[in-house]
Amino acid sequence: MTELPTATDRKLGLVIDLDTCVGCHACVISCKGWNTENYGAPLSDTDPYGADPSGTFLNRVHSYEVQPEDGAAQLVHFPKSCLHCDNAPCVTVCPTGASYKRVEDGIVLVNESDCIGCGLCAWACPYGAREMDAVEKVMKKCTLCVDRIYNENLPEEDREPVCVRTCPAGARHFGDLGDPDSEVSQLVAARGGMDLMPEQGTAPVNKYLPPRPRDQLDQVDVLAPYLEPVAQEPRGFLGWLDRALDQMPGGKE
């Protein structure tokens, strides 16, 4: 049913630390691997070794350069997947009821056997979290590894989304964001976790931890201003070349 639940028992989601992410794309690959081999239609690649490769991914890592007013530019790696919004616009637009938000844990899922592949939910999502599979022609999205987190056939340490399990930097955290005492909620409170595009009114469950401000290296050494500059007027052959080139037309302004 595409009516959103007024409240969910839990709000399972991810907390992504933009300060820690090193941009290795391991989460992208493990996500593609798990979700191709398990729940639902496989994530296809078209022309993977040809001139125009393209594929379906549920998680992608952008990289941004942030240039502060003063100080060095900073590179921020930015993993983006479904944010499992409380007010998910992708769910209400679905004409068939294939898209739904679970009451028990707030996960937004697609029932692929009901999906007609109209693509309207992908239009409605401001984050680009949904992708239509080019081969299966059904809408694919992050399931928060619903087939892992409750899977009693897996060892307990593996019962979390595969992107979280695989992250070598510890930049991804999984938990109940509806419980203020959970580890993820406390992390969000401590680090000033933020919503993406809050003005869109989607009320995303996933939170992002902003990069910490970098140290300011104004001066390398207090004596630096008193040191002799290393570069000097060229002498010898280079000096002659410098003067000779200056003599040429247009050489010395």
Please report, as ranges, the residues that interact with another protein according to CB under 8 A.
1-3, 18, 25, 28, 52-57, 60-69, 73-76, 78, 80, 89, 91-98, 114-120, 122-128, 131-132, 134, 136-138, 194-201, 208, 210-211, 213
SS3 101: strand
Cβ closer to another protein: 154 or 196?
196
CB of 203 to another protein, least distance (A): 13
CB of 100 to another protein, least distance (A): 10
Q: Is the dihedral of CA 92, 94, 95, 99 positive or negative?
A: negative
Q: Who's near 84: CB < 8 A, 6+ residues apart?
A: 11, 12, 13, 101, 106, 107, 108, 142, 144, 204, 205, 206
CB 131 within 8 A of CB 123: no
CB of 251 to another protein, least distance (A): 38
SS3 246: helix
Q: Is the dihedral of CA 242, 247, 251, 252 positive or negative?
A: positive
CB of 180 to another protein, least distance (A): 21
Task: For residues 143 and 134, give the distance between their C-alpha atoms in angstroms, rounded to a whole number.
Answer: 19
Cβ closer to another protein: 44 or 182?
44
Cβ closer to another protein: 108 or 149?
108
Cβ closer to another protein: 38 or 92?
92
CB of 109 to another protein, least distance (A): 15
Task: For residues 149 and 158, give the distance between their C-alpha atoms in angstroms, rounded to a whole number.
Answer: 8
Cβ closer to another protein: 52 or 221?
52
